[in-house]
Amino acid sequence: MKREYYEVLGVSRTATKDEIKKAYRKLALQFHPDKNPDNKDAEEHFKEVNEAYEVLSNDDKRRRYDQFGHAGVGSSAASGGGGQYGGGADLNDIFSAFNDMFSGGKTRGGGAPFGFEEVFGGGGGRRGRASSGIPGTDLKIRLKLTLEEIAKGVEKTLKIKKQVICEECKGSGSKSGATENCQTCHGTGEVRQASKTMFGQFVNIAACPTCGGEGRIIKDRCTSCYGEGIKLGEVTVKVNVPSGVEDGNYLTLRGQGNAGPRGGAAGDLLVVIEEIAHELFSRHGDDVVYSLAVSFPDLVLGTKVEVPTLDGAVKLTIPPSTQPETMLRIAGHGIGHLRGSSRGDQYVKVNVFVPKDLSHQDKELLKELKKSSGISPTAHNDKNSKGFFEKARDIFS
C-alpha cells in the first residue's frame, strides 16, 4: 500500500509550507542518488519523497489530497489527464481507493501498537505531543442530500456524538497526568509466552494484559473519564461535499472520528452520502431528466414553455412537429462534475398530454379536427419512419 504523503515527509497534517519544504530538503539530500549510488532502496525513497513534495507543496493538490487521498491526485497527475472525466464511474474509483487506504488504516489500529502513529505523531490535530495510547475508532455517519445540493456541492454543519478528549485530565486518564512503567511488561507493552507443541517451542508475543499494550500504567486515575482519557461528547463538524457525489459514496475526514483513549490518535470520520429522491427529476449520471406533458396542438405547432430546473424555471422552446418522447436538452443545468467546474445537462422528455375529461364543446372540436386527412398517420407514413432518427439526433446533438 502507498504510504501517506505526510508520513513520507515526516510532517503533521497541519504542517506549514515552510515545514514541508524543510522536511523535503532534508530527505531529498539524504536519499539523493548521487549520495547513494546503486542503492535501489534509496532511489525508491527519493522518488517517493519527490512525489509527496510535489503534491503537498501545491495548495490545490494538497487540498485534493487531504480530501480524497492518493486517488485525488495520483492517477490523474501521473497520466497527465485532468478535468475530462465521466462523472459517476470516476468517482467510484476514488472511493474504492479510499477503501484501500482505509483498510490499511485498520491494520495499523488492530495490529502493532507501534509504527504508524509514532512516525506520524498522532495526525488527528494533536500537535506536539508524542502519541501514546490506543488509536480511536472510526466513525461512520449518514448524510442526506437533495439533488440541488449535490448539483452544486454544499457545506454542511453536522452535530455528531462521539468520543472526545476528557477535559478534566486532558486525555491522559490521570488526575495529575502521572504515569509509571507497567510492571508486567516493563514498559514494552508486550508479553512473551513460550508454548510447547509437538513441533517444538513457540514464543507467542501478545499485547500486555495489564497495560493493554501501552507500556505505561496511569497513577491517580481521573474520575471523570474513569482513566480512559475520553468521554462521550457532542461536536459540530463542517463537511464540504463536492458536487457530483452519488448515493453510497463517502468522504473521509481524517482525525475527526472518535478520540483515542489516553492520548491515542483519533480515528477517521466517514460521511456516507445518501441522495434524497427528487420529486421532479430523475438522475442519470451527471444529467437529470424531467418529464413534460404537452398538448397535441402545441406539439404540432410548437410553443414556448417554462420548465423547472435545479436552478429555477427556464424557458424552453418546443419546436413545431415535436414527436412524443423527444428529449430536449437544456445544457449546463445538470449535476456539477466531481472534477472540473462544468455541469451535466437537463433533458426534457416530451410527452403528449391526453385529457381524461373533456367538455362537450372540446369533443365537438376534436371531431371536427378528425375530419381533416392531414392529421391521420396514413397520410404521413414516409415522414413517420424518420421519427426515430430525428429523436436520436436530438438526444446526441
Stretch that binds Zn ion, among 56-64, 146-154, 177-185, 340-348 (CB under 5 A): 177-185
Nearer to Zn ion, 144 or 161 (CB): 161
* Closer to Zn ion by Cβ: residue 211 or 310: 211
Grid coordinates given for 207: 499485547
Within 13 Å, how many C-alpha atoms sit on residue 317's CB side? 2
User: End-to-end CA distance of the chain, in Å?
Assistant: 44
Amino acid at 286: D
Residue from 58, 75, 184, 323 that binds Zn ion (CB under 5 A)?
184
* Nearest of 265, 268, 267 to residue 250 by alpha carbon: 268
Taking CB under 5 A as the rule, which mask of x and - marks residues 235-274 in contact with Zn ion? ----------------------------------------
Taking the complex as a whole, how short is the minimal distance between the CB of residue 124 and Zn ion, in angstroms?
Answer: 18
d(CA 276, CA 279): 9
Distances (CA, A) of 309 to 124, 274, 303: 41, 21, 18
CB of 150 to Zn ion, least distance (A): 41
Identity of the residue, 117 or 246, whose beta carbon is nearer to Zn ion in the bound complex: 117
Using CA atoms, how far apart are residues 249 and 47, in angstroms rounded to an integer?
31
Provide the pairing of β-strand 281-284 with 287-295.
antiparallel
Q: Are 375 and 369 in contact (CB under 8 A)?
A: yes
Nearer to Zn ion, 13 or 231 (CB): 231
**Going edge to edge, which strands form the sheet with 250-253?**
139-145, 269-275, 250-253
Nearer Cβ to Zn ion (211/338):
211
In this structure, are strands 269-275 and 139-145 parallel, antiparallel, or unpaired? parallel
* Shortest distance (Å) from residue 231 CB to Zn ion: 7
Q: Which is nearer to Zn ion, 224 or 323 (CB)?
A: 224
Contact between 55 and 65 under an 8 Å Cβ cutoff? The reply is yes
Candidates 56-64, 169-177, 286-294, 326-334: pick the segment binding Zn ion (CB under 5 A): 169-177
| 169 makes contact with Zn ion (CB under 5 A) | yes
| Cell numbers standing for residue 183 | 510492571
Specify the stretch interacting with Zn ion by CB under 5 A; choose among 106-114, 159-167, 308-316, 381-389.
159-167
Of 11 and 225, which has the nearer Cβ to Zn ion? 225
3-state SS of 163-181 is EEECCCCCCCCECCCCEEE
Min CB(174)–Zn ion separation in Å? 8
168, 220, 275, 311: residue in contact with Zn ion (rule CB under 5 A): 168
Side chain identity, residue 380:
H
Q: What is the distance between the alpha carbons of residues 358 and 338, in angstroms, rounded to a whole number? A: 48
What is the C-alpha to C-alpha distance for residues 180 and 293, in angstroms, rounded to an integer?
Answer: 77
Q: Shortest gap between Cβ of 23 and Zn ion (angstroms)? A: 33
Cβ neighbours of residue 241 closer than 8 Å, sequence gap 6 or more: 143, 145, 149, 150, 153, 154, 155, 156, 251, 271, 273
134 is a contact residue toward Zn ion (CB under 5 A):
no
Helix (H) or strand (E) holding 250: strand 250-253
Which residue lies nearer to Zn ion by CB, 113 or 344?
Answer: 113
Angle, CA of 265, 267 and 270, to the nearest 5°: 155
Question: By CB under 5 A, how many residues form the interface with Zn ion?
Answer: 12
Binding mask 189-228 for Zn ion (x = CB under 5 A): -------------------x-xx----------x-xx---
Rule CB under 5 A: say whether 58 interacts with Zn ion.
no
Q: Which is nearer to Zn ion, 182 or 310 (CB)?
A: 182
**Distance in Å, CB of 189 to Zn ion, minimum:** 6
Q: How far is the CB of 196 from Zn ion (least distance, A)?
A: 24
Shortest Å distance, C-beta 233 to Zn ion: 12
Give dist(CA 43, CA 46) in Å, integer: 5
Shortest distance (Å) from residue 134 CB to Zn ion: 13
Site of interaction with Zn ion (CB under 5 A): 166, 168-169, 182, 184-185, 208, 210-211, 222, 224-225
